[in-house]
Every structure is written in structure tokens, then in C-alpha cells.
């Protein structure tokens, strides 16, 4: 938040726009996030929408900017947004990061697909 605030005060147009977009996304995420006692149990549709709007804003800034860093920031945000998509979640329904294997020590076949 401090970096976004500094960008708003001292940055050029790409820095100010990105700082504003990040601050708005942070506030919006706090407003739409479900308050559940366990995390990563399902798709957070509100957070997904906020992330996709932020991604669209960052792509637009990248296309207009005369600097290279917006492309890097946009790519990193896109990598973070990708695992949210339904059916492509990094976590399974059990909450573990890997599918359960048939025997201890076995390598899941999904690692090879």
C-alpha cells in the first residue's frame, strides 16, 4: 500500500495509474472476499472478478506505457490470476496441494500429464 501511495504522489502516468488500480483492487478484494473460517475451500467469484478487472487495467496500462516494468507486473499478475480459474485450481477439494496417491511414496500420475 505504501508503494502504491508513493507511486500516486511521485510517479509518472503509468505509475500513478497502476498504483491507483492496485489500491482499488486491494480495497475491493477486502469488500468482496467471503468471511469463512477456512480458506481455499472453493472459488471466490468476487475475488476472481476483481483480479480480472485489475488484469484488464494492467494490460491497458502496459499497452500505453513507454516503460518496460508494466509488462513484467502484468505478467506476474496474470500468473497469479491463472490458478483461480475453475477446474484449474492448484488446490484440490480436500485442501491438499497434491491429489491423494494410492500408496505412500507413490508419484501421482497427474504429475506426468
Give the three-state DSSP class for 17: helix
Q: Which residue has the cell 492448484?
A: 90
The DSSP symbol for 51 reads: H
Greatest Cα pair distance, the chain, in angstroms, is: 57
Residue 33: the pLDDT is 82
Encode the chain (113 residues) as per-residue pLDDT tens digits. 788 888 888 888 989 999 999 999 999 988 988 776 666 667 778 888 999 999 999 999 999 999 999 999 999 999 888 766 555 544 444 444 444 444 555 555 555 55
State the CB neighbour count (10 A cutoff) for residue 69. Answer: 12
Burial 12-28 (b: 16+ CB within 10 A, else e): eebbbbbbebbeebeeb
66: cell is 513507454
- Give the alpha-carbon dihedral of 3, 7, 9, 10, to 10 degrees: 120
What is the pTM assigned to this prediction? 0.68
pLDDT score recorded for residue 99: 46
Amino acid at each position: 500500500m505504501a508503494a502504491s501511495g508513493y507511486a500516486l504522489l511521485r510517479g509518472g502516468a503509468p505509475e500513478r495509474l497502476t498504483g491507483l488500480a492496485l489500491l482499488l483492487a486491494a480495497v475491493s478484494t477486502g469488500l468482496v472476499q467471503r468471511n469463512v473460517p477456512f480458506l481455499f475451500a472453493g472459488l471466490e467469484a468476487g475475488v476472481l472478478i476483481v483480479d480480472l478487472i485489475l488484469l484488464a487495467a494492467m494490460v491497458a496500462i502496459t499497452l500505453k506505457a513507454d516503460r518496460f516494468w508494466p509488462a513484467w507486473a502484468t505478467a506476474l499478475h496474470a500468473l497469479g490470476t491463472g490458478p483461480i480459474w475453475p477446474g484449474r485450481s492448484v488446490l484440490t477439494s480436500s485442501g491438499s496441494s497434491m491429489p491423494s496417491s494410492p500408496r505412500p511414496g507413490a508419484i501421482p500420475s497427474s504429475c506426468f500429464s
